[in-house]
């Protein structure tokens, strides 16, 4: 009991230090970023060189590029790991914030289930390990919810602004919060709102105008999805909704439903007990029997039995604040899902990672409701409910996590082997001088980074008569790409564990390598 209560009072500095330490330790394992983050890393270097080009690549993301720009002077080897570290810290912080938020509504036991359900989800591991920005995004969203629940409006605005600098789906919520603060807030609130409203368009539009000449290039790129995207299916809205439901462990929802039923039964039982207690009369006086059990004694409470530290909601929130936060979080998650569905119907790709925020919010709501209701039932029933939720989370993790681990480790080792392939072929200078460079479509920014060129100079559809092909398997079960066609005289010049380099060079004095 004492240990549990001390855990609930752990200082923020200790938690922050633990998150930083875990993020750093994670870099000891095979680590890399995936396609979008590598483009942000390249853009960060280009900004420091005053030569930004966003013509090709993913949509612009202001907040990640701020980080990669600051990291760029650290050099070719170190700079990418700064963003990878920041992305993983964001993912870990989101898990911690999910625990804090759920703990304040449904107790530490429910908070632990929420943290595990998010942290062990295959979509969380994949995006967090490969440095996508969804971990930071969820951390920002949960931070905003937490700050709003505690009445700290300007902090909530700052967290929401951070979310808005990561994904356009957050813009409506930022505008709604800004409008509310401008209407109900004081002068400092209005100054903060004005600053946020100025920062958003500048951060999203000006760099794109500089890098591509098109103010709206990011929106245009987002509406040109890759094959297999949800927007290209017959019913995009249904596809996205089905993907969302599939991201949530079924057993978790079943356990939450059982907790809801148990809570309703406990509440009904409590009302009946209080009614019976009120009807008891003292035969001697004809009035209420003073020896009868008090109404509050007739129904289980959080602190009436073993483990109050694990079931009591922390933070001093009133029941009204707790349930208002639950309802607000549920509405936020549903609205986010609706926005993704609408955008997908409008031509945006509808990738699964766009659904990470509503999925994480769904887990938070389910665990918070389950924890609060389980805290109202007898101790045996609450531990059964907790065991059911933990079992659901564990089953989902055992089923999916190993496969995700294999994928991210394979990709990390493939990217780590790229410099070896470039060196074996003769170095970056030789490759650039030999001819146009081609590689797998999803490896374009990685190759551009290692060769020190714009992504626009790297293609994935080889054409002759001169070319350098950096070929690889993007996953274990895929074919090697790109495939050389109609390039006479092309030959293998280097081969490593994960790469094959083939070249047909321009006629020059030293191209006979």
Q: Cβ atoms within 10 A of the Cβ of 79, count?
A: 20
Q: What number is the average pLDDT over the span 207-234?
A: 79
- Tens-digit pLDDT profile for residues 445-468: 999 999 999 999 999 999 878 999
CB distance 472 to 481 below 8 Å: yes
Supply the mean pLDDT for the chain: 85
Starting at the earlier edge strand, list the strands of the sheet with 437-439.
458-459, 437-439, 467-472, 499-504, 491-495
DSSP for 48-88, please give it: HTT----SSSS---HHHHHHHHHHGGG-TTTHHHHHHHHHH
Q: What number is the average pLDDT over the span 473-492?
A: 89
> Binning pLDDT at 50, 70 and 90, where does residue 307 land?
very low
Query: pLDDT value at position 438?
Result: 97
Q: What are phi and psi of 32, to 5 degrees?
A: -160, 175
pTM for this entry: 0.88
- Tens-digit pLDDT profile for residues 237-246: 999 999 998 8
> Binning pLDDT at 50, 70 and 90, where does residue 409 land?
very high
Residues paired with residue 73 on neighbouring β-strands, in sequence order:
none
Element (H, E) at 499: strand 499-504
Query: pLDDT value at position 388?
Result: 75
Q: Which has more pLDDT, 269 or 365?
A: 365
> Binning pLDDT at 50, 70 and 90, where does residue 511 land?
very low
Q: What number is the average pLDDT over the span 349-377?
A: 88
User: Both ends of the chain: CA-CA distance in Å?
Assistant: 71
Ramachandran quadrant class, 315 (left: phi over 0; alpha: psi -120 to 50; beta: rest): left
Name every residue whose Cβ is closer than 8 Å to that of residue 479 and which is 6 or more positions away in sequence: 473
In this prediction, what percent of the chain has a pLDDT beyond 90?
Answer: 58
At residue 157, does pLDDT exceed 70?
Answer: yes
Q: Tell me which residue has tokens 């509406």.
A: 223
Say which range, 14-18, 60-64, 257-261, 492-496, has the weakest mean pLDDT: 257-261
Q: What number is the average pLDDT over the span 16-28?
A: 94
Distance CA 209, CA 198 (A): 17
Query: pLDDT value at position 305?
Result: 39
> Binning pLDDT at 50, 70 and 90, where does residue 147 land?
very high
> Binning pLDDT at 50, 70 and 90, where does residue 50 land?
very high
At residue 306, does pLDDT exceed 60?
Answer: no
Query: pLDDT value at position 14?
Result: 86
Return the structure tokens found at 75: 């050099």
Q: What number is the average pLDDT over the span 228-234?
A: 78
Query: pLDDT value at position 284?
Result: 53
CB distance 114 to 159 below 8 Å: no
Q: Cβ atoms within 10 A of the Cβ of 39, count?
A: 27
- Tens-digit pLDDT profile for residues 80-105: 999 999 999 999 999 999 999 999 99
Distance CA 371, CA 389 (A): 10
Query: pLDDT value at position 106?
Result: 86
Name every residue whose Cβ is closer than 8 Å to that of residue 229 and which is 6 or more positions away in sequence: 349, 350, 351
């Amino acid at each position: 009991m004492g240990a549990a209560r001390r855990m609930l009072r752990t200082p923020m500095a200790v938690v922050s230090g633990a998150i930083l330490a875990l993020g750093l330790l994670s870099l000891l394992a095979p680590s890399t970023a995936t396609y979008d983050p590598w483009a942000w890393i390249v853009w960060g270097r280009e900004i420091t060189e005053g030569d930004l080009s966003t013509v090709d690549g993913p949509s612009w993301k202001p907040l990640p590029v701020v980080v990669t720009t600051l990291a760029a002077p650290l050099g070719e080897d170190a700079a990418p790991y700064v963003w990878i570290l920041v992305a993983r810290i964001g993912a870990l912080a989101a898990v911690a914030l999910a625990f804090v938020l759920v703990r304040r509504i449904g107790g530490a036991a429910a908070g632990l289930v929420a943290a595990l359900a998010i942290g062990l989800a295959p979509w969380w591991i994949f995006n967090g390990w490969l440095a996508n920005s969804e971990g930071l995004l969820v951390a920002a969203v949960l931070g905003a919810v937490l700050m709003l629940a505690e009445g700290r409006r300007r902090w909530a605005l700052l967290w929401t602004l951070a979310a808005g600098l990561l994904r356009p789906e957050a813009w409506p919520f930022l505008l709604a919060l800004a409008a509310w603060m401008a209407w109900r807030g004081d002068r400092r609130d209005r100054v903060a709102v004005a600053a946020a409203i100025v920062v958003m368009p500048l951060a999203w539009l000006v760099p794109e105008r500089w890098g591509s000449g098109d103010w709206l290039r990011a929106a245009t790129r987002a509406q040109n999805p890759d094959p297999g995207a949800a927007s290209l299916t017959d019913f995009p809205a249904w596809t996205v909704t089905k993907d969302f439901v599939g991201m949530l462990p079924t057993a978790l929802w079943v356990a939450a439903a059982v907790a809801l039923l148990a809570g309703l039964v406990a509440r009904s039982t409590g009302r009946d007990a209080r009614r019976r207690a009120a009807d008891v009369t003292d035969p001697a006086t004809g009035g209420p029997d003073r020896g009868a059990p008090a109404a509050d004694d007739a129904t289980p409470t959080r602190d009436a039995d073993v483990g109050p530290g694990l079931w009591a909601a922390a933070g001093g929130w009133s029941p009204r604040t707790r349930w208002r936060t639950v309802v607000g979080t549920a509405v936020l998650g549903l609205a986010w899902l609706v926005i993704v569905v609408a955008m997908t119907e409008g031509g945006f790709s509808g990738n699964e990672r766009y659904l990470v925020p509503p999925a994480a919010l769904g887990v938070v709501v389910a665990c918070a409701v389950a924890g609060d209701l389980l805290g109202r039932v007898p101790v045996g029933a609450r531990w059964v409910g907790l065991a059911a939720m933990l079992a659901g989370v564990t089953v989902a993790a055992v089923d999916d996590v190993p496969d995700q681990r294999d994928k991210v480790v394979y990709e990390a080792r493939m990217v780590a082997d790229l410099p070896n392939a470039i060196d074996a072929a003769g170095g970056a200078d030789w490759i650039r001088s030999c001819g146009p460079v081609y590689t797998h479509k999803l490896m374009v920014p990685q190759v551009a980074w290692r060769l020190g060129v714009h992504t626009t100079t790297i293609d994935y559809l080889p054409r002759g008569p001169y070319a350098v092909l950096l070929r690889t398997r993007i996953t274990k079960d895929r074919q090697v790409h790109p495939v050389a066609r109609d390039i006479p005289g092309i030959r293998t010049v280097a081969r490593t564990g994960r790469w094959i380099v083939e070249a047909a060079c321009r006629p020059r004095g030293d191209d006979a390598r």
